[in-house]
Amino acid sequence: MQVSSLVSLAEISTAAARLKGVVTRTPLLPFPDSRGAGSSLLVKPESLQPTGSFKLRGAYTAISSLSAQARERGVVAHSSGNHARAVAYAAALLGAPATVVIPRNAPQIKIDPVRLLGAQVVTCEPTLAARTATTQELADRFGYTVIPPFDDRVVISGQGTVGLEIAEDCPEVDLVVVPVGGGGLVSGVAAAIRELCPGARVVGVEPALAADARDSLRRRERVAWAAADTARTMADALRVEQVGELPMRHMLGLVDDIVTVTEDEIAEAVRRCALQARLVAEPGGAVAVAACLLRMGDLPPARTPVAVLSGGNIDPVMLSEILAAGGTSSAVPE
């Protein structure tokens, strides 16, 4: 693998300039009571973005990079929900028609805002293959430009601004923990952190019920999980069956490890984010926090760890159920 094939710090800095005034520069917030972890956990809450997740960074970077003619023709994207909302929002800002392909089992809270933003919604079977095929069919038929959710250099550079901000705001960071779905976020963050904080480690986190990225890193090749298996996790944002090709190259070159968390641990992290940190986290957005709070033994030792809370678009009914069941959670630190 050639390092030159990976997204550069210069590309991430260019994305940061495009995003100025569009995205929120989310703060690093101390997480109260880390249960004697021996460190001061900081959380970067991307749930505070206008669209409720980090995805706006990549979507706006990609669409704003298009020619005026391409924007006029329109864009199309596939997504489990958060990328769809980000594409719809960015397209509306830039005056581009948008169509999004969403699996039919996506939470309604992730579909309704897309329509409200003026994007056309097309539903499909809940598999990555169906999403990709439907998106390409629409692009071929109408001349739309595809805005990939993770397997794209420009999108990754946009997501990398999360890492750029962490390095600028906390240069002493020695561990950055990041949720992993298709791998775009962890790729961009790792690219920035490795350049600016070379002594820091980067670890990805995914649900134990959708651990294709962990398996891929262990085998050093892309491993796919069946859609029926990944559908078991409550973390709908991370139900990607296989990491992208470009993210895989970044993972092999820049990511130290990928660990997993259980469904109980995810729910516990959502609950503690709400009640202790006063932050709304969706299950997929909370997995890095879950690892830092409940799987400390699986992570490298660190004095100044940062967990990326990647999104907060959670169904209110699910959130209320998680909060109500808090006293019965079986998640414990290990």
Active site residues: 55, 310
Cβ-in-10-Å burial (0-12, 13-18, 19+) of 324 comes to exposed
Contact 117, 85 (CB under 8 A): yes
Q: How far is CA 66 from CA 63, 70, 120, in A?
A: 5, 6, 20
State the amino acid at position 224 in one-letter form: A
Sole residue written with tokens 């890492």: 163
Q: How many helices (H) does the chain have, and how many strands (E)?
A: 15, 10
Residue 233 and residue 305: Cα distance in Å, rounded?
26
Diameter of the chain measured on Cα atoms: 57
Cβ-in-10-Å burial (0-12, 13-18, 19+) of 146 comes to middle
Element (H, E) at 306: strand 305-309
Residue 138 and residue 117: Cα distance in Å, rounded?
20
3-state secondary structure of 189: helix
- In degrees, rounded to 5, the angle at the alpha carbon of residue 113 between the alpha carbons of residues 108 and 114 is 100
Residue 178 and residue 202: Cα distance in Å, rounded?
8
Q: How many residues comprise the chain?
A: 334
C-alpha dihedral, 135 to 140 to 143 to 148, nearest 10°: 30
